Structure 1
Amino acid sequence: MLEAVYALSHSKNLDDFRKGVSLIVAPGLNIMYGDAKGNIAWNTSGKLYKLDNAVNPNFILNGTNGIDDKKEFLDFSKNPHAINPSWNYVYSANNQPEAVDGYLYPGYYLPQDRAKRISGLLEQKNDWTKEDVGQMMNDNISNGATDIVRNLIPTLELKSLSANENQALSILKKWNGSNNLKDIAPTIYNKWIYDYLKNTFRDELGEANFKMLLSTHIIKQVIASQSKNENSIWWDDKDTKNKIETRTEILNKSFHQAISGLENQLGKDVNSWTWDKVHTLEHQHPLGKVALLRRFFNVGPFKASGSNEVINNLMFDFTDSGKYSVKAGPSTRRIIDFSDIENSMSILPTGQSGNPFSKHYNDQAEMYNSGKFRKMKLNKEEIIKTSTKLVFAPK
């Protein structure tokens, strides 16, 4: 790995770069490239292999039959990559890459939502500015969520809906997929999704295993496909005897539960069910788990826009409470114009210092949460003029 890092940091051209990537046996990473001559590329690292066609890598494999553990290691040239693609940009959103020689590499991928949103925005124009890129980094729209809503709505039995349920349905029908602070639709959507998942899987898995499932990326892949599968055996509630539930029954039951739950949680006024009341961000320090120390070490909480699988990917687990505490998100946002390096911009979630008593411990948190950036100091004279200087002297 050290040899790979050295090779990458001393690369003179695209060939040198790819040789450096080839030295990384693991982990599998998507590594981006750009140079002064206008070349762009991305390449996966890792020593990849193919299993026998009869082997399903999603299950525990049999190490005794001589088949499940038989691997065909592939040459690095077969690793998924793109070099100066015709569409003129490269990106990564932890999505499934295109097939290589007809083979889709299995992996722990995320849904295509962010990837499709990124490519959809990039294809709209060719005159991108730093400000445009900053706006895209803070984009909160999920086209995947609106697709799911369109699949769910036709299952609802309209005659059985209350006034609040009808209002909630109307809001979902008009939703463009945004997850901004004052949006109401994401609050309704995520509560409905949670109840649909609970009523679908909890009876088979049990409470503990269901909660474990919710904490994985697998559930994100399941939401859309399961919601469309009329014949899935998961719809049947094992706790009811002499009755087999259908997709329509479970989705209607879940919608009623979702609206009732929101009424109990946020009140009877649907217009007050805004996203900022349920989606919050708090940067937690290990010592902040002690209640007395929380306000000294933790940063926040903040009302947060964003959501799961949008470009502003502020992720959360589904819970019965209807509150969504952000558990992960962008560790930094950075915009670099290679024709104007000294005016690059960045932002960190909290601050540059890990010392809670430093003014730089949390001085970027408000800006990060509101989608702003700060100028990166890359010019020596500017750094000297505007910064403090710490000198370590021998005793």
Structure 2
Amino acid sequence: MFLVFRWMMRLITGLVVLSLLAGVILYYFLSRSLPDYDEDFTIAGISAPVEIVRNNDNVPHLFGETDADVFFALGFAHAQDRLWQMTLLRRTAQGRLSEMFGTRTLRIDELMRRYDLYGLAQQSVAVQDAPTRAALEAYARGVNAWITEVNREARGRGAPEFFLFSNEIAAWQPADSIAILKLMALQLSGQLENEVLRARISLVLPEARVRDILPDAPGTGVTALPEYSRLVPGVNPGLAPIRQAAADVLSPFPTRELAGASNAWAAVPARSAAGGTLLANDPHLGFTAPTVWYLARLELSSGGVIGGTIPGIPAVLVGRSEALGWGLTSSYLDDQDLFIEEVNPENPEQYRTPDGWKDFVTRRSIITVKDAAPVTITLRWTDNGPVLPGSHYDIGSITPPGHVAALSWTALTGADTSMTAVIRMMGAKTTAEAIEMGRLVVAPAQNVMLADAGGVAMQLMGAMPARDPAHQSRGRMPVPGWLPENRWQGMLPYEDNPRVVNPASGLIGNTNNKTVDRPFPLHVSYTWGDTQRIQRWLTLMQAREVHTRESFIEAQLDTVSFTARSLLPLIGADLWFTGEPAPDGTPERLRQRALEILAAWNGEMSEHLPEPLIYQAWVRALQDRLIRDDLGPLADTFTHVEPLLIERVYRNVDGASIWCDVVQSAVVESCTDLARIALDEALLTLTETYGPNPESWRWGDAHQATHDHTVLGNLPVLRYFVNIRQSTSGDDHTLLRGKTKGEGPDPFLNVHGAGFRGVYDFADPDSSVFITSTGQSGHPLSRFYDDLGVLWRRGEYVPMSLDPELARAAAVGVTVLTPAAE
């Protein structure tokens, strides 16, 4: 027996030693790709020595004798810290993910090939001005210089992920950067899905009820649209929807609820306590680890500029110089239209146009698939744009037999000068200069918030489609593509883009709310991203005569929900403090306790409170009960609470209370009945998940920010090392926006929000601050992988200084790039 025990101990000890040895070897190889920020390089591609000074927060400050050398250094720094992320973004734009991930990403690649974003980016290189092409080329040389170092010095393949996906890293090209900018346009576009959804709902609901569930933002109303079946005859209203496969984390195609958002506001000197302009911006995107944002400072010939960059793009997209600050919010411009094209029944290679039948522009594309046979697809374009398959966006459910759908979208052009505008913006000295530079922006269309020493402005930058006033659906639903009144007539003049300069109030703000109230076709959009956050912003801005950097930070971090304050009195009007106290342990008593808790709540969506969780679960269950019987499976597309729908129902706007009656039941249910039933249902679900005591529930337990690694984040064990989860406050409708997932077993996870925050005070520019939601490094073994995320979660910021001596103080490393002798 002792002999057996001794050998068992030897075996266990041997396994432990082998495991430790394997761990050490694995760590050694994975850590080889961690850059040494104090290492110097002799390198080709620069004209003079370049310094990369990484300050205490690992923000690189780039100093060179020429702009080209500085852009080279940015490419070098991006590749050092985010090579895997850059590679993934490029492959996504190219439609080449399946070479790495197999059949899992085949549908993504297929649709990306049909958009042909990369081909259009290659064409767009030629239309950039000379300084922009020089910047793109220098940046590409910098990226490739680091790739060369990785290959030459065996630096762990450049990133740990490349040990699992060992495809060769192709040299970076100028077109790659333009393609990533176009990819961002795709991630910020949701009008296509809105059109399809409105068409589908039009097939099953009368117009009055469509206005309830897809309401226009408050303002001048829109006259009724024709039913979709009259616009496009032959569609079967009972047609079963084509459900897309579950969204892959690698997919660049947003759902309509996550197709862009952001906050930005600015104050003129007269509304600033310190006498300088103020600007705050927090652009919202899907959370990932690392975040898409990368902080950097570039010392250009026009002066220093610092802020948020996106790895792969050689520019500060949000940030400031000494003279100018700029921020971005999604404009919600209606820059997409879906057209139903009739196919020639005698010749399927032709489609109908206003002038008769015309051949599709056709070519084949081969998708290489890892561990599977290559897939060949046929790409077809019409005058209106690429033909999209019915299996995506549920297009097949609204396309009659003998027809296909084609997309017009401003980003689908090979003459896209947006990158030139982005590069030029960094050299602008005034808001007027920046506005003029916006003339070159095509896509993505953004509201650009601007502040210089003397004033503030907001300009929509991006191409606005020119539509015929006789357009059948005003761009709100798919229409026949062969009718001339439906087709685009070029682009509107830049002067028609909305612009606000130094308003009398001294304050400008945008939370994706409706910005103009102009008649079609100058309307900008019928679909806006916010009707709620703007109300809270107005309250905070109007509460002070003058503002400070701190008051702007306070607004960025505000978690009070105007929506909760508005909806709870409506839906609970007949439930508060009614009836006799129920016995403990009964559903009635649990409901009474929940209502007592909510009655004393001020609407603050704090992670530490139970009230936000009860409120969210209640209104979510209520909305599902309101729409489920009328929409059936279509109800699944409404994954987030629509406040205007609930308000219309409980105020009985245009008879909207009819939603409360369950059609299939004999009893006529009241809105109070539905509110009570929904609350009981929500509390039952919460009890099963969080226990029987509502006072102990915490919103933060459900509302965790999901900064998950796009590839390794789903792997067992590894997920605990690469995913960053944080309990967070806020929700879909607070200024500190934490958009919930909306579906699945954890619908309240925080998946979309401010990956970057910046506040700029031009009374003392170096007192400006910024932060990102994870860290500078994309390497999970780096201490800079998640260090900024700790500050972000606590609502803290780091300095945004252009003082080179402050950058050098306590720097984590200084890299010198010396030109190689030719």
Asked if TM exceeds 0.5, the reply is: yes
The answer as to whether partners of 1:7 and 1:16 remain within 8 angstroms in 2 is no
Deviation for aligned residue 1:188:
1.1
Deviation for aligned residue 1:227:
4.4
The answer as to whether partners of 1:279 and 1:324 remain within 8 angstroms in 2 is yes
The answer as to whether partners of 2:740 and 2:747 remain within 8 angstroms in 1 is no
User: Aligned pair 1:45/2:464, yes or no?
Assistant: no
- Structure 2: distance between partners of 1:263 and 1:51: 55
Structure 2 residue corresponding to 1:291, chosen from 712, 716, 721 = 716
User: Aligned pair 1:3/2:427, yes or no?
Assistant: no
| Count of equivalent residues | 389
User: Aligned pair 1:110/2:529, yes or no?
Assistant: yes
User: Aligned pair 1:76/2:494, yes or no?
Assistant: yes
Structure 2 residue corresponding to 1:339, chosen from 750, 763, 776 = 763
The answer as to whether partners of 1:52 and 1:70 remain within 8 angstroms in 2 is no
Match of 1:163 in 2: 589
User: Aligned pair 1:67/2:485, yes or no?
Assistant: yes
Match of 2:783 in 1: 359
- Paired residues for 1:112-191 under 5 Å: 112-156=531-575, 158-159=578-579, 162-191=588-617
The answer as to whether partners of 1:28 and 1:45 remain within 8 angstroms in 2 is yes
Deviation for aligned residue 1:292:
1.9
Deviation for aligned residue 1:375:
2.1
Letter in 2 for 1:211: D
Deviation for aligned residue 1:23:
2.1
The answer as to whether partners of 2:572 and 2:672 remain within 8 angstroms in 1 is no
Cα 1:52/1:93, change in 2 over 3 Å: same
Which whole-Å deviations, capped at 9, do the CAs of 1:40-67 have from their partners, x for residues lacking one?
A: 1101123333553663433222323433
- Structure 1: distance between partners of 2:614 and 2:722: 33
Which whole-Å deviations, capped at 9, do the CAs of 1:227-264 have from their partners, x for residues lacking one?
A: 434733543435x3545544333222212212222222
- Structure 2: distance between partners of 1:27 and 1:221: 27
The answer as to whether partners of 1:80 and 1:100 remain within 8 angstroms in 2 is no
User: Aligned pair 1:250/2:677, yes or no?
Assistant: no
Deviation for aligned residue 1:363:
0.8
Letter in 2 for 1:18: I
Deviation for aligned residue 1:126:
3.6
- Structure 2: distance between partners of 1:276 and 1:261: 17
The answer as to whether partners of 1:333 and 1:348 remain within 8 angstroms in 2 is yes
- Structure 2: distance between partners of 1:169 and 1:334: 38
- Structure 2: distance between partners of 1:126 and 1:18: 28
Structure 1 residue corresponding to 2:433, chosen from 16, 27, 34 = 16
Letter in 2 for 1:75: P
- Structure 2: distance between partners of 1:322 and 1:229: 32
- Structure 1: distance between partners of 2:780 and 2:526: 39
Which whole-Å deviations, capped at 9, do the CAs of 1:92-140 have from their partners, x for residues lacking one?
A: 2111113147964324412222222222212222443323322221110
- Structure 2: distance between partners of 1:107 and 1:8: 29
Letter in 2 for 1:133: F
Task: Note the aligned Cα RMSD (angstroms).
Answer: 2.8
Q: Which moved more, 1:254-263 or 1:65-74?
A: 65-74
Letter in 1 for 2:628: R
Letter in 1 for 2:617: K
The answer as to whether partners of 2:439 and 2:461 remain within 8 angstroms in 1 is yes
- Structure 1: distance between partners of 2:727 and 2:754: 16
Cα 1:181/1:108, change in 2 over 3 Å: same
Q: Which moved more, 1:142-151 or 1:5-14?
A: 5-14
Deviation for aligned residue 1:149:
1.0
The answer as to whether partners of 1:179 and 1:186 remain within 8 angstroms in 2 is yes
The answer as to whether partners of 1:191 and 1:322 remain within 8 angstroms in 2 is no
Deviation for aligned residue 1:178:
0.5
Local SS of the residue matching 1:164: helix
Q: Which moved more, 1:46-55 or 1:14-23?
A: 46-55
Local SS of the residue matching 1:335: strand
Cα 1:76/1:226, change in 2 over 3 Å: farther
The answer as to whether partners of 1:155 and 1:252 remain within 8 angstroms in 2 is no
User: Aligned pair 1:224/2:224, yes or no?
Assistant: no
The answer as to whether partners of 1:22 and 1:45 remain within 8 angstroms in 2 is yes
- Structure 2: distance between partners of 1:221 and 1:66: 35
Local SS of the residue matching 1:86: coil
Letter in 1 for 2:496: K
Match of 2:52 in 1: none
Match of 1:201 in 2: 627
Deviation for aligned residue 1:373:
1.4
Cα 1:101/1:200, change in 2 over 3 Å: closer
Letter in 1 for 2:809: K
- Structure 1: distance between partners of 2:649 and 2:485: 31
Local SS of the residue matching 1:214: coil
Which whole-Å deviations, capped at 9, do the CAs of 1:137-190 have from their partners, x for residues lacking one?
A: 111011122101111112448449722212222232332210112222211110
Match of 1:34 in 2: 451
- Structure 2: distance between partners of 1:378 and 1:260: 55
- Structure 2: distance between partners of 1:101 and 1:18: 24
Deviation for aligned residue 1:325:
0.8
Deviation for aligned residue 1:194:
1.1
Which whole-Å deviations, capped at 9, do the CAs of 1:267-323 have from their partners, x for residues lacking one?
A: 222211221222112310021111221122112x22111111211101103347465
Deviation for aligned residue 1:84:
0.6
Deviation for aligned residue 1:20:
1.4
Structure 2 residue corresponding to 1:369, chosen from 785, 793, 801 = 793
- Select the structure that is richer in strand: 2
Letter in 2 for 1:297: V
Letter in 1 for 2:603: G
- Structure 2: distance between partners of 1:81 and 1:145: 32
Cα 1:186/1:71, change in 2 over 3 Å: farther
Structure number with greater CO (CA < 8 Å, separation at least 6) is 2
- Structure 2: distance between partners of 1:46 and 1:55: 22
- Structure 2: distance between partners of 1:322 and 1:259: 15
- Structure 1: distance between partners of 2:501 and 2:800: 29
Q: Structure 1: 5+ residue runs without aligned partners?
A: none
Which whole-Å deviations, capped at 9, do the CAs of 1:197-233 have from their partners, x for residues lacking one?
A: 22122334445x4333216xx8465443344347335
The answer as to whether partners of 1:32 and 1:41 remain within 8 angstroms in 2 is yes
Local SS of the residue matching 2:720: helix
User: Aligned pair 1:261/2:690, yes or no?
Assistant: no
- Structure 1: distance between partners of 2:429 and 2:746: 52
- Structure 2: distance between partners of 1:331 and 1:19: 28
Cα 1:266/1:313, change in 2 over 3 Å: same
